[in-house]
């Protein structure tokens, strides 16, 4: 009986993995054009991920320093938030060890930059962008800040598919990690950093 259970569990896991991989490449194939580099918008979206992420983070540090005595000098939580998303993303990349889609499916996926040979799962561009969107949303609670921030993050995520650099599951995982890391950083800030300041 146990052997039968193990056998069917193995078959189910293998079938699900095969189905999800097939769904991933099918969706990507429908999004990724033959010449993705022709689109200035999606290239700009991808290229904006790192500069805007760290530019906005720097802006938040300056804003908090000059607008509230209670947060003056609280640079460590800001840095910790970004380090958190980077460590989680890179840690999962190394653990999962997934190759880029254009390396595994060269006949189906047309990359904008074949020089991006790093690991695929999850998307670091997407995790950073969604972490930034969630961070400003948590910080300001204004729809006219939150909506554009998440729209930009969504464009970054979609650009990774359009440009053939990631699978859809890479982008989805990146978005979840990015948002989750922002809320985890907020929780750690309340539990650790603010408690130390009150001592």
Q: Tell me, what's the pLDDT at 81? A: 78
Q: Is residue 20 part of a domain?
A: no
Structural domain total, the chain: 1
Q: Tell me, what's the pLDDT at 193? A: 62
Q: Tell me, what's the pLDDT at 163? A: 95
Q: Tell me, what's the pLDDT at 113? A: 84
Measured between its terminal Cα atoms, the distance across the chain in Å is 60
Mean pLDDT by 10-residue block, N- to C-terminus, for the chain (199 residues)?
44 43 89 90 95 89 70 62 89 93 92 84 95 90 93 97 95 95 84 58
Q: How many residues does the chain have?
A: 199
- Domain holding 56, by residue range, is 45-198
CA 29 from centroid of its chain's CA atoms: 21
Q: Is residue 184 part of a domain?
A: yes
Q: Tell me, what's the pLDDT at 19? A: 45
Q: Is residue 26 part of a domain?
A: no
Instruction: Say if CB 135 and CB 158 are below 8 A apart.
Output: no
Q: Tell me, what's the pLDDT at 192? A: 72
Q: Is residue 13 part of a domain?
A: no
Q: Is residue 51 part of a domain?
A: yes
Q: Tell me, what's the pLDDT at 96? A: 93
Q: Is residue 2 part of a domain?
A: no
Q: Is residue 93 part of a domain?
A: yes
Q: Is residue 165 part of a domain?
A: yes
- Model confidence, pTM: 0.82
Distance of alpha carbon 49 from alpha carbon 139, whole angstroms: 19
Q: Tell me, what's the pLDDT at 99? A: 92
Give the torsion sign (CA, 192, 186, 140, 44). positive
Instruction: Say if CB 162 and CB 38 are below 8 A apart.
Output: no
């Amino acid at each position: 009986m146990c052997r039968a259970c193990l056998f069917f569990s193995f078959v189910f896991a293998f079938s699900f993995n095969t189905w999800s991989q097939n769904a991933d490449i099918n969706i990507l194939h429908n999004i990724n054009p033959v010449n993705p580099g022709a689109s200035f918008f999606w290239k700009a979206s991808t290229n904006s991920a790192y500069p805007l992420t760290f530019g906005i983070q720097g802006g938040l540090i300056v804003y908090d320093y000059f607008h509230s005595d209670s947060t003056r000098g609280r640079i460590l939580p800001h840095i910790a938030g970004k380090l958190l998303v980077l460590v989680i993303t890179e840690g999962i990349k190394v653990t999962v060890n997934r190759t880029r889609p254009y390396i595994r499916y060269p006949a189906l996926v047309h990359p904008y930059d074949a020089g991006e040979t790093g690991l695929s799962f999850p998307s670091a561009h997407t995790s950073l962008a969604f972490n930034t969107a969630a961070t400003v949303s948590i910080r300001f609670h204004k729809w006219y800040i939150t909506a554009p921030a998440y729209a930009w993050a969504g464009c970054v995520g979609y650009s990774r598919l359009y440009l053939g650099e990631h699978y859809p599951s890479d982008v989805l995982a990146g978005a979840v990690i990015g948002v989750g890391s922002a809320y985890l950083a907020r929780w750690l800030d309340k539990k650790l950093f603010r408690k130390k300041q009150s001592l």
